[in-house]
């Protein structure tokens, strides 16, 4: 790269991160492609817990066997070591409160959006959550996928 080029920054919300493990879900191929193409994936520490909960839900619903769920938990632990977490500061929390009201987001989704915006407006926000996707785009972030079905 020359001095005029930069490597894009990618912020992954929990819906995008879960697709890395739940490969049968729609959009998993794109999530994996983006993950593999970025040097340092960025997310909130909240995502660690949310993805663990998604794995547990898949197991409870019978979409994953206990053995497969255990493998996914191990893989998630390995993937997490690659992540650069955005610290959940009081500033991020205050921004999340404003964003929750402004975009009718859940608490977790507003934390993800506030965390992504903390990284900067040049971050590419990766999400499969419809409301969060729309809110990130409205906040001026580039979003992957470009459109949701």
DSSP 139: T
Indicate whether 149 belongs to any domain. Answer: no
pLDDT tens-digit readout, 51-100: 999 999 999 999 999 999 999 999 999 999 999 999 999 999 999 999 99
Band the pLDDT of 23: cuts 50, 70, 90: confident
Indicate whether 45 belongs to any domain. Answer: yes
CB 109 within 8 A of CB 129: yes
Indicate whether 93 belongs to any domain. Answer: yes
| pLDDT, position 34 | 96
Q: Cα(137)–Cα(56) distance, rounded to whole angstroms? A: 30
CATH number where 49 lies: 3.40.50.1010
Indicate whether 3 belongs to any domain. Answer: no
The total number of structural domains that make up the chain: 1
Per-residue pLDDT at 16 exceeds 70: yes
């Amino acid at each position: 790269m020359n001095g005029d080029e930069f490597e894009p920054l990618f912020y992954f919300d929990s819906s995008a991160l879960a697709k890395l493990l739940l490969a049968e879900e729609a959009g998993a191929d794109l999530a994996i492609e983006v993950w593999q193409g970025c040097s340092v994936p960025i997310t909130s520490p909240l995502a660690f817990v949310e993805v663990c909960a998604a794995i547990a839900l898949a197991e409870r619903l019978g979409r994953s066997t206990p053995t497969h769920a255990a493998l996914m938990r191990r893989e998630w632990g390995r993937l997490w070591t690659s992540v650069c977490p955005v610290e959940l500061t009081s500033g991020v929390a205050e921004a999340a409160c404003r964003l929750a009201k402004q975009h009718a987001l859940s608490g977790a989704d507003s934390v993800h959006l506030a965390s992504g915006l903390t990284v900067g407006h040049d971050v590419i926000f990766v999400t499969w959550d419809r409301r969060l996707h729309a809110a990130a785009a409205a906040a001026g972030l580039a979003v992957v996928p470009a459109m949701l079905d």
